[in-house]
Structure 1
Amino acid sequence: MKTLVVLVLLSLAVVCLTSDVSEPAGDNPAQEGLFVEKVQASEVVRQKRATGQLSMSQLESLREVCELNLGCEDMMDTHGIIAAYTAYYGPIPYDY
């Protein structure tokens, strides 16, 4: 059994050593799409939210600011957090 394993490993080594390795790694079309620039990768991975949607943590932070002002808190209960925050504090500081 050990002899068989040694023969398989030796034959694998012979195949690897005799294979055509003259092609540089940079010219290999299979390697072309493996690595991308950091900016390009972040554009691909970045998730786009629908217009007008804030994350739960962003809404919670707006809510915390608005709760400190009684008028803003009352308006938040009737008109919503975005309308109340905009009315009392101006534009929302997040891109949405």
Structure 2
Amino acid sequence: MSAPDPKTPDDDPLVTQARLRRERHERWLREGDMSIGRRLAQIGVLGWIFVAPTLAGLFIGRWLDARHGTGIFWSAPLMLLGLCLGGWSAWKWMNSR
């Protein structure tokens, strides 16, 4: 029987997170804080990422309901689907930065 291989430092999540924190800190020292205008622009983009799929789902649902005379049969689920898609997209966008 052979002994299990010891973990390398690259496999340790603590080392990985410490390395990421150091890289972020070095980038902050190089680039500094974001301007207020850039922060406001990011908030605006985040809003559109969240709202656009919701409105698209609502628009398509209303169109289908008007075409088939089904009340809100399509509007509600497609709006909810758009809301979920927008929330997922916003989450992915925020975590990719």
Query: Greater helix percent: which structure?
Result: 2
The answer to whether TM tops 0.5 is no
- TM-score under structure 2 normalisation? 0.25
Greater relative contact order (Cα < 8 A, sep 6+): 2
Considering only CA atoms, is the larger Rg found in Structure 1 or Structure 2?
A: 1
- TM-score under structure 1 normalisation? 0.25
